[in-house]
């Protein structure tokens, strides 16, 4: 039982670290999305400010804005997917933690019963001292 509790403890730690990694990835995706949105705003501001009227510059700006839009859409989709992964990984981590806690509690209870049995057995084997 001790070995099972130890193994479940290791699994719980691993699941917790995997959850932390998934959260980190989610934050990285969100940061990338935010930087793309900033780049998009800056490009729109540059187009508005310079009032690009020449065909080649306007076409290049339009292509760049479309590319940024596609990247933002991909980042949003990836963010949603990663959010689901984070929730799933969190559930797995919590389940592993509960299993480890349960196994540890069971091991402690068995050890306490064994110790109590040993104590009772020793107390029954003690010879009474004569006071006369």
CATH topology of domain 2-121: Helix Hairpins (1.10.287)
Element (DSSP H or E) covering residue 14: helix 2-50
Residue with tokens 């933002």: 72
Q: Could you tell me if 43 and 65 are in contact, meaning their C-beta atoms sit under 8 angstroms apart?
A: yes
Mean pLDDT across 106-120:
90
Q: In the chain, what are the domain boundaries?
A: 2-121
Write out pLDDT tens, residues 19-57.
Answer: 999 999 999 999 999 999 999 998 888 777 766 566 677
In this prediction, residue 70 carries a pLDDT of 95
Looking at residue 131, what is its pLDDT? 57
* pLDDT computed for residue 129 by the predictor: 64
* Ordered DSSP codes for 84-129: HHHHHHHHHHHHHHHHHHHHHHHHHHHHHHHHHHHHHHHHHHSPPP
The verdict on pTM exceeding 0.75 is no
């Amino acid at each position: 039982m001790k070995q099972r509790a130890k193994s479940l403890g290791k699994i719980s730690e691993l699941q917790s670290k995997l959850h932390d990694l998934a959260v980190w990835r989610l934050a990285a995706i969100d940061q990338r999305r935010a930087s793309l949105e900033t780049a998009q705003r800056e490009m729109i501001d540059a187009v508005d400010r310079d009032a690009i009227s020449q065909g080649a510059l306007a076409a290049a700006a339009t292509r760049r804005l479309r590319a940024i839009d596609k990247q933002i859409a991909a980042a949003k989709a990836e963010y949603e997917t990663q959010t689901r992964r984070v929730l799933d990984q969190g559930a797995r981590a919590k389940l592993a933690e509960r299993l480890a806690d349960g196994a540890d509690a069971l091991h402690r209870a068995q050890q306490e019963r064994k110790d109590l049995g040993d104590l009772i057995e020793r107390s029954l084997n003690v010879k009474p001292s004569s006071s006369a």
